């Protein structure tokens, strides 16, 4: 069985390091391809690994510069990652829900209340 707590953090860390690296553009595309393949483990909340959801919003925001008209492959893998991610999650504005409901997960409360951003609810 895969252990996402060992796999996901190093890949995400490598992606953040490769975003602004102009010397190795192929590194970004290979890491994005890998990240796209493990997106389900990233957004799925399981008893063994629930921290993956906290990476989703920062990843979505940080890969947007990957949409580059001069680099077709980079754009393709970026859009593939975004497509895969948004197929697995439902985006809703639940910033006011923290005042109404008391059964929300920590991830929803964190993104919905503290950041006033879209909260991510995974299936």
* 60-110 tens-digit pLDDT: 888 998 898 898 999 999 999 999 999 998 777 766 766 777 776 776 666
CA–CA separation, 120 and 65 (whole Å): 21
Burial per residue of 87-98, b for 16 or more beta-carbon CB atoms within 10 angstroms, e otherwise: ebbeeeebbebb
For residues 47-62, give the mean pLDDT. Answer: 82
Judge whether 87 and 123 are in contact, CB under 8 Å. no
Query: Which pLDDT value is given to residue 98?
Result: 65
Closest CA to 55 of 15, 84, 104: 15
- Of residues 7 and 1, more confidence is placed in 7
Arithmetic mean of pLDDT, 16-21: 81
pLDDT tens digits for 107-120? 666 655 444 444 44
Is the pLDDT confidence value at 30 over 80? Answer: yes
- Compute and round to an integer the Cα radius of gyration of the chain: 15
Half-sphere exposure of 74 (CA within 13 A, CB side): 19
Angle CA(40)–CA(121)–CA(13) in degrees, nearest 5?
Answer: 50
**What's the mean per-residue pLDDT of the chain?**
78
What is the 8-class DSSP label of residue 79? H
| pLDDT higher than threshold 90 for residue 40 | no
Q: What is the mean pLDDT of residues 22-45?
A: 85
């Amino acid at each position: 069985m895969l252990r996402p707590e060992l796999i996901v953090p190093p890949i995400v860390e490598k992606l953040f390091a490769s975003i602004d690296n102009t010397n190795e553009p192929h590194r970004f595309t290979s890491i994005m391809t890998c990240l796209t393949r493990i997106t389900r483990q990233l957004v799925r909340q399981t008893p063994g690994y629930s921290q993956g959801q906290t990476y989703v919003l920062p990843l979505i925001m940080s890969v947007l510069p990957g949409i580059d008209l001069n680099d077709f492959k980079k754009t393709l893998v970026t859009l593939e990652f975004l497509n895969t991610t948004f197929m697995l999650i439902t985006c809703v504005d639940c910033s006011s829900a923290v005042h109404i409901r008391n059964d929300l997960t920590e991830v929803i409360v964190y993104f919905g209340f503290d950041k006033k951003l879209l909260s991510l609810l995974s299936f």
